[in-house]
Chain A
Amino acid sequence: MSTQAAPRTVPYKEKTPFDYSSYLRKGKLPHIWCPGCGHGIVLKSLLRAIDATGLNKDDIALVSGIGCSSRTPGYVDFNTLHTVHGRSLAYATGLKLAKPKLKVIVITGDGDALAIGGNHFIHACRRNMDMTIMVYNNYIYGMTSGQSSPTTPQGMISTTAKYGSIEPVFDTCDIAKAAGATLVGRGTAYHCQELEKTIYDAIMHKGTAVLDILDSCPTYYGRFNKVKGNSELMEIAEKDGTVSQAQAAKMTTEQLQGKLVRGILHRTERPEYCEEYEKLMAKAQGK
């Protein structure tokens, strides 16, 4: 694996545009995401974060399941794997065990990770294998026309909840922390510069890193819930609905009600699975 560069200071302070072309399969653009979908913004943040790590393109593998978010690997020029619904983490686990030197980044949606692949998700967190799990959370199953997902907020309308969802929601960060992920963070597409730093921290972390990334689905979630325009949806859910950790420290419990905190929320150290497995192999071979 190539040597890791020192954390880069924010590049856009230099006020020159970032060149994404070396990381993209340009023939595949324009991408399939709807106008105003936040997935493109998150993809750009991911590419800038990967550039900051200084890793070689061939040392990175992007694994995804099924869903709008999971179309991401089709547009990027890394090792990519587009797998079955909810099982992206199972494939990623196998890939990481076969090639432990690869930097595995799993791109998955809220329905893909938490509902259909919920079982794989908690056990991937438990094993603490060195991979980054990015959960693109747009509150809905976008690709199949807007059914409720485990993160659809209560009272919000979807195809399968025409009078408003009554189900309590999953908090991706809480689940990941409870299941044993060693780095848990949250970002939004609106705060794309902050998101870049969060993704950088997650990629550089040794162990399972889970990121809950809030973005918007204007086509279904926005339209069903009578939000006009893509930018308004971003403002409501991402700008007004979240606070940074510095802001949260100054706020009272009542003020924090209904707000989500951005940034790295949990970080700890535990033995990494691939290293433990190598030790086990050496022991079994009597070395």
Chain B
Amino acid sequence: MTEPAKKLWRIEINEKLCKGCGICADFCPTNVLEMKGIIVGVVNLDKCTGCQLCDLRCPDFAIQVFPR
């Protein structure tokens, strides 16, 4: 019996809107995000569970998570 395929996610960051507050990176439950200079970057996309917490807590409308 094969395991069900892991659902994959795609994180879109709007670099024009991100102010680099770091809230998404600090509150990410699986540490997918990390600060890269003044804006946030994706480091471990495989670990993303699609919980949307980064999107919900982003004050700047800058990050969204879509099913891949």
Instruction: Spell out A's residues near B (CB within 8 Å).
Output: 12, 15-18, 20, 24, 29-31, 33-41, 43-44, 189-190, 192-193, 218, 229-231, 234
Contact (Cβ within 8 A) A30 B65: no
> How many A-B contacts are there with CB distance less than 8 Å?
69
Q: Measuring CB to CB, which residues of chain B are less than 8 angstroms from any residue of chain A?
A: 16-17, 19-23, 26-27, 50-52, 55-61, 64-67
Contact across chains for A229 and B67 when beta carbons are under 8 A apart: no
Contact B59 A39, beta carbon cutoff 8 Å: yes
State how many angstroms separate the Cβ of A239 from the closest Cβ of chain B: 9
Given contacts A231-B22, A231-B27, A38 and B59 within 8 Å (CB-CB): yes
Q: Which residues of B contact A39 (CB under 8 A)?
A: 59
CB-defined contacts of A16 to chain B, threshold 8 Å:
66-67
Which residue in B22, B57, B59, B65 is a CB contact (below 8 Å) of A17?
A: B65
CB neighbours (8 Å) of B16 from chain A are 30
Question: Looking across the interface, which residue of chain A has its beta carbon closest to that of B52?
Answer: A12
Do the beta carbons of B23 and A234 come within 8 Å of each other? yes
Nearest-neighbour CB distance to chain B for A17, whole angstroms, equals 4
CA distance A40 to B62 in the complex (A): 11
